[in-house]
Amino acid sequence: MTENIANKIVVITGASSGLGAETARHLVTAGAKVALGARRKDRLDELVAELGADNATAFQVDVTDREQVVAFVNDAATRWGRIDVMLHNAGLMPMAPLTENRWQEWDACIDVNLKGVLYGLGAVLPIMQKQGSGHNVFVSSVAGHVVNPVGAVYCAAKTGIRVIAEALRQEVKEWGGRTTVVSPGAVDTELPASVKAESVSGMISDSYATGAIPADSFARAVAFALSQPAEVDINEILYRPTSQAM
């Protein structure tokens, strides 16, 4: 599953832990070079030390700041000479009943999960279009397919990512662009920690503690999509732990 990955330049947001960090490890092992972006620069520096400075670079970026996202993407393009793939991975999972009126969490969810993706696209698409190729990989969720009663805003955001990706798929065909949406179920990452509502945080933590699968499951899904030849476009991958019912 590493064919066609060697020497690809992959930009990853939310790369300091979880899905982003594990995917970076997997892709570097397959021969790719990675530009890592996240708010926690110390964690990125540790990951670069692990992967090797010849294979990875680190850039502190908050995806809710459009100028920072543009600077991150431009830095990657300058350092590596091109961008073959952008993994739009930064995300939050605030869950709570709407009646709790956690409006600050609603804002954060939309700013990170949706606007952060749009800022990434705005920065990378001109580079990819000029190259005549480029692959954007989006992180949705089972929650982008199945609505739950405490996930109204999160489910809406993850559904929105799928909508953005499908519109982009149709838009970039004329110059060879590709799009993939990966929608995981419960995966062992720090994401449940973003659930702050006491009414649901314990339930979420317990479900992840007993049923979550390793983050390398996501990395393998991304690698599968990236390993395809240029004429094959894997548009969507939906997967869950075997034990997850919804």
Query: What is the dihedral sign for C-alpha 127, 130, 131, 133?
Result: positive
Residue 138: inside a domain: yes
Q: State the catalytic residue, choosing from 119, 154, 208, 239.
A: 154
Residue 246: inside a domain: no
Q: Is 119 an active-site residue?
A: no
Q: Say how far apart CA 78 and CA 95 lie, in whole Å.
A: 39
Q: Residue 1 has what pLDDT?
A: 58
Q: Residue 18 has what pLDDT?
A: 95
pTM: 0.95
Q: Residue 111 has what pLDDT?
A: 98
User: What CATH number is attached to the domain comprising 109?
Assistant: 3.40.50.720
Q: Residue 211 has what pLDDT?
A: 83
Q: Residue 126 has what pLDDT?
A: 98
Mean pLDDT for back-to-back runs of 10 residues, the chain (246 residues): 89 97 98 97 97 97 98 97 98 94 97 98 98 98 94 97 98 97 92 83 83 94 97 97 90
Number of domains in the chain: 1
Residue 82: inside a domain: yes
Residue 36: inside a domain: yes
Residue 215: inside a domain: yes
Residue 2: inside a domain: no
Residue 121: inside a domain: yes
Residue 1: inside a domain: no
Note down the domain range covering 106. Answer: 9-239
